[in-house]
Structure 1
Amino acid sequence: MPISYWPIFVMLLLSTVIAVVMLLLPAFLGRKNPNPTKFEPYESGLRPFALPRKRFPVHYYMVAILFILFDIEVLFLYPWAVLLRKLRVFGLVEMGIFLGILLIGYFYAWRKGALEWL
């Protein structure tokens, strides 16, 4: 029995159109009153004490990327756990290979010092 994907397509199209309209509507209907004060950085109602751009360690970005990577791994584990009885040994071996590759990546990041804090 084929499943009709038209409702999903219409929902995605409609949500995209609504999102684009909501993003563009203020640009066309909003007041355009440029003022130099509006372009100053806001710091608790006071004038900024120093330059707003400070160097931010790249290490935190690396930790965030690794977190996202291994978080997505967990997302792939959920469907596998649900279908494990249906997939039997093939699914177990396939997920073992997947986890092995991710474990190699984890140890590589550990060896390169990506998990060191300072």
Structure 2
Amino acid sequence: MLLAARSRSNARIAVEAGVHVNTVRTWRGRFADLGLRGLLDRQRTGRPPVFTPLQAAQVKALACQLPAETGAPLSRWSCPELAREAMSRGMVSAFTLHLDAMNHARSTVCGSTADGMGAGEW
């Protein structure tokens, strides 16, 4: 919105922000219609979250640790072992995350593992 306030065109804002012009058009329209409220995230459709934000943060933090740091006799986490550890610590009562979701969580939170393997390789 700051670039729009400087009278920049949607096309120029898109280039400067590295987004598609339609994205700029959408956000400018929301701001024009609703003011600052238009910039807030809207409620999304789809399946509701299985875990609370706190549970997700706890499991992600655990996934970022080497198993040896937690006392687990492993060189790296597998999804089933991570699930067992999270449940044994009372972080979650049921652990139904799909492997891709776990890989995504680990790669976006931790990057590579300490042994140099990427998240898609564990």
TM-score of the two chains, using structure 2 as the length reference? 0.26
State the structure with more CA Rg: 1
Whose relative contact order is higher, 1 or 2, with alpha carbons under 8 Å and at least 6 apart? 1
Query: Which one has a larger percent helix, Structure 1 or Structure 2?
Result: 1
